Amino acid sequence: MLLPTLLAAFIAGASSIPGANVDSAVDDRQVFQKLELATTALAEKGDGSLKRDVRLEQCKRMRTDALQLPSKQFAGSPLEGAEIYRRAAQASVLIGSAYKCDKCTKWHNTLASGFAITADGVIATNHHVAAGATGEAMGVLTYDGQFFPVVEVLATDKAHDVALIRIDAKNLAFLPLRDDAPAGTPIRCYSHPANTFGCISEGIITRYFKMNEPERNGAVFLQTTADYARGSSGGPIMDAFGNAIGMVASTSPVFTAPTTPAPVSKDAKPATPSQQMVRHNCATARALLDLTRTR
């Protein structure tokens, strides 16, 4: 029997990275449908996956000693954009979480990003991804079309919005973690924004800052000018050598203050605020490393 078009394209060769060139264009609908069908089947089957209540309990873990992170970082000459795309795509995953809403009987999926930090299945993503309250089953799709159920949450940090989850996989491409990149460093972001599989954007680190929003408690984040959107949560922020220096977490749009036209009349209406910029807030690689260290 012939393989489905999507799977055939994914396994055409090691050099075939979805979206990397005109001959390996991505069919977003097929990719996301594949993940959604797999997570739905996992949820309906009910075995061989991480149950929701167990997953949420494991999200209380603040540290893990269950892994040995590679100590060597990528260095040398800066990489060309195509090579950074290749490394990012091979190490990154699309994360799906199957849930049922209160308006129908169908299964739905929340979608996010993540990336491997070891060859044996440890995946970095956000706390808000790992700790999603409604997901009954969670799984990941790799660049070459392989689906893996999430089998464990190793550790999370809600304030820094980081988490380490585990899948039963071997020989994964992974990204080393670098925690000393200064502001001004050129970076690239790889993620899956808004049902778009495998997008890369570029920018710089604009600053490191303490986030004082509720539940953040002054946790340190970094900001970048690289663009991303919903679905990008957990996507790697990479330096020019292919190290992960951070991870997509959130955005903070900035709007003009509303004004009232002059002269004021009873019919006057406040002007609609316009968006001036978007602050792109990212978890740091140090926050991920701290999940593996005793303090």
The encoded tokens of residue 220 equal: 């340190």
Mean pLDDT, range 249-255, rounded to an integer: 91
Q: Sign of the CA dihedral 97, 288, 90, 67?
A: negative
State what percent of residues in the chain have pLDDT above 90: 75
148-195 pLDDT, tens digit per residue, is: 999 999 999 999 999 999 999 999 999 999 999 999 999 999 999 999
Instruction: Please give the residue that has the higher pLDDT: either 118 or 105.
Output: 118
Phi-psi region of 46 (alpha: psi -120 to 50; beta: other; left: phi over 0): left
DSSP conformation letters of the chain: -PPPHHHHHHTS-TT--TTSSGGG---HHHHHHHHHHHHHHHHHH-SSS--HHHHHHHTT-----S-----PPP-SSPPPHHHHHHHHHHHEEEEEEEEE-SS-SSEEEEEEEEEESSTTSEEEE-HHHHT-SS-SEEEEEETTS-EEEEEEEEEEETTTTEEEEEES--S-----B---PPTT-EEEEEE-GGG--SEEEEEEEEEEEEE-STTTTTEEEEEES----TT-TTPEEE-TTS-EEEEEEEEEEEEPPP---SS--TT--PPPP-EEEEEEEEEEHHHHHHTTS--
pLDDT bracket for residue 293 (50, 70, 90): confident
Question: What ranges do the domains of the chain cover?
Answer: 26-63+77-254+277-290
Say whether pLDDT at 257 is over 60: yes
Mean pLDDT, range 263-269, rounded to an integer: 60
Say whether pLDDT at 245 is over 90: yes
Say whether pLDDT at 5 is over 50: no
The predicted pLDDT at position 49 comes to 75
The predicted pLDDT at position 273 comes to 81
Least confident of 18-22, 194-198, 254-258: 254-258
Q: How far apart are CA 86 and CA 98, in angstroms?
A: 28
The predicted pLDDT at position 7 comes to 39
Is there a contact between 85 and 199 (Cβ–Cβ < 8 Å)? no
Q: How many CB atoms lie within 10 A of CB 1?
A: 3
Quote the mean pLDDT of the chain. Answer: 90
Least confident of 39-48, 77-86, 116-125, 224-233: 39-48
Domain 26-63+77-254+277-290 has CATH 1.10.12.10: no
The predicted pLDDT at position 105 comes to 85
Please state the pTM of the whole predicted model.
Answer: 0.89
Instruction: Please give the residue that has the higher pLDDT: either 100 or 235.
Output: 235
The predicted pLDDT at position 260 comes to 57
The predicted pLDDT at position 10 comes to 37
Residue (of 100, 81, 107) closest to 199 by Cα position: 81
The predicted pLDDT at position 234 comes to 98
Say whether pLDDT at 8 is over 50: no
Mean pLDDT, range 259-281, rounded to an integer: 72
β-strand partners of 93? 114, 142
200-218 pLDDT, tens digit per residue, is: 999 999 999 999 988 899 9
Q: How far apart are CA 114 and CA 55, in angstroms?
A: 17
